[in-house]
Amino acid sequence: MKPTVLIVDDENINLLVLEKILNEDYTLYKATNGTDALRLAKRMKPDIVLLDIMMPGLTGFDVIKELKSAERTRDIPVIYVTGLDSDDDEEKGFLLGAADYISKPFSTGVVKSRIENQISSIKRIRELQEKNITDALTGIHNRRYFNTTLDDVWARALDTNTSVGFIILDIDHFKSYNDRYGHLNGDIVLQEVAQIMTQRIQRATDYVARWGGEEFAIILSNTPIEGAAVVAEDIRKLIEDHVFVLGDGTETRATVSLGVHAVAPGVETDYDLVSFLSDADKALYQAKQNGRNQTSLVYDDLAKWNLSS
């Protein structure tokens, strides 16, 4: 996927010039005022913001103050794009958190090199962060990564008026399994369940994470309830049919229960993330209550129905 850049400038000619320079290598978002810039930054969370200083209404200085004060946007590098050339203006920008400056009129080479430098820094930081967001046992992402990613996917769905699909999966009777075969063999099951899930989830916009213990979660971008249900059932069947080979060569099987939900947050405007996750968890509980090894959905005003029966 291309890195993303939000360009903020009240002059259309400047937007067009920057778009021509960057369009081939980056996915671009554009805003012509500070209010729209803040809205897009919070929703889309671009990799970099190119920010004009002199704008009517909210100035670039006002915008960067807001960006750096919000947890969701404070780590986004901001490069000022400005015709101002005084040392005081430059110092003020850096004190407010700007990562760099690009002076008008634009030089193609300077624009590209300044952005490439920031992208390189972002990649190094993300490589370090990756170590903190990966579950050590299964090799997939952990709950911390899941929370951040779901926030991002939800924000994009709001902006594009699309659906977010969510699956929560629990390995059936896992405690009894651990008691019978031991925790090391239980780890084998956890690892192979994670592998099965990641093999089925192949779109770059979908995410698998270990939710905690024997629970896993899947985020499906731009996916309605019907699509999420198909994915969940595929995974349930794959796990049901899978032969787990334990450390001593013993072969065994396992099953899982799944709760599925999907919603378009731009349509369900009074429906927040807390409710979304809570209702998916209720669907998982329903699958367990109905006998496990099942997929249950939150559907039609939270009426639950069992897909697997």
The catalytic site residues sit at 214
Number of alpha carbons in the 13 Å side-chain half-sphere of residue 202: 2
Question: CB of 66 within 8 A of CB of 55?
Answer: no
Give CA–CA dist 208/206, Å, rounded. Answer: 7
CB 281 within 8 A of CB 167: no
Residue 250 tokens, joined: 């013993």
Strand partners for 62: none
Q: H or E stretch including 244?
A: strand 244-245
d(CA 166, CA 253): 25
Contact present, 104 and 64 (Cβ < 8 Å): no
Residue 179, Cβ density class (10 Å: 0-12 exposed, 13-18 middle, ≥19 buried): exposed
**Residues 6 or more apart from 306 whose CB is under 8 A from it?**
286, 287, 290, 294, 295, 296
